[in-house]
């Protein structure tokens, strides 16, 4: 074995290491921004520990509220956990559909990130993968689906400004 093969064998990707350390999760998120170019943003996550089949493995801190009874509904969660909550100032005064948002679904050892196309950017996807523990050590594949439906529309799609 030459030095390059040795280095490749023992190369540790630090980012993958930290993602691997996080347990797998599904759930919903918002990219909190008033910037239509999405240069400045904050990721707001509500996650649920799950296995590679998407089954809940730990009771969530916030009870699930979607029809499926396995995840969260953006509108309901915003109303109960974000809106008028002083912890979430100043963005909590907006409606749930103002900020770009998405969801992470897990099933069959695969993750799908459904999101508003405006937030499908490498730095945002990297943060989503990190927050939800989506690494090749936890799951076999991650796909990103740009959801152009009305469900994921936000202020950028509606032509609103700051």
Name the fold adopted by 25-60+98-152: Severin (3.40.20)
**Nearest residue to 106 (alpha-carbon basis) of 64, 55, 68, 145:** 55
pLDDT of residue 9: 43
The single-letter DSSP state of residue 13 is -
> Which pTM value belongs to this model?
0.84
The single-letter DSSP state of residue 4 is H
pLDDT of residue 13: 45
pLDDT of residue 21: 54
pLDDT of residue 36: 87
Domain coordinates in residue numbering, the chain: 25-60+98-152
pLDDT of residue 161: 52
pLDDT of residue 160: 62
pLDDT in tens, the chain (162 residues): 545 544 444 444 444 444 445 799 999 999 999 888 888 999 999 999 999 999 999 999 998 999 888 899 999 999 999 998 888 888 888 999 999 999 999 999 999 999 999 999 999 999 999 999 998 778 999 999 999 999 899 999 977 654
pLDDT of residue 7: 46
SS3 assignment for 101-155: EEEEEEECCEEEEEECHHHCCHHHHHHHHHHCCCCCCCCCEEEEEECCCHHHCCC
């Amino acid at each position: 074995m030459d030095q390059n093969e040795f280095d490749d064998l023992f190369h540790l990707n630090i980012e993958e290491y930290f993602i691997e350390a996080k347990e797998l999760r599904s759930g919903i998120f918002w990219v909190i921004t008033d910037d239509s170019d999405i240069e400045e943003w904050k990721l707001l996550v509500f996650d649920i520990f799950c296995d590679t089949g998407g089954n809940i493995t730990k009771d969530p801190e916030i009870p699930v509220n979607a029809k499926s009874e396995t995840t969260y509904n953006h509108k309901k969660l915003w109303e109960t956990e974000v809106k008028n909550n002083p912890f979430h100032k100043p963005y909590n005064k907006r409606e749930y559909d103002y900020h770009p948002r998405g969801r992470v679904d897990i099933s069959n050892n695969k993750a799908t990130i459904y999101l508003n196309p405006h937030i499908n950017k490498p730095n945002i996807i990297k943060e989503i993968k990190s927050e939800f523990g989506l690494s090749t050590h936890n799951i076999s594949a991650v796909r990103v689906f740009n959801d152009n439906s009305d469900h994921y529309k936000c202020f950028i799609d509606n032509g609103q400004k700051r």
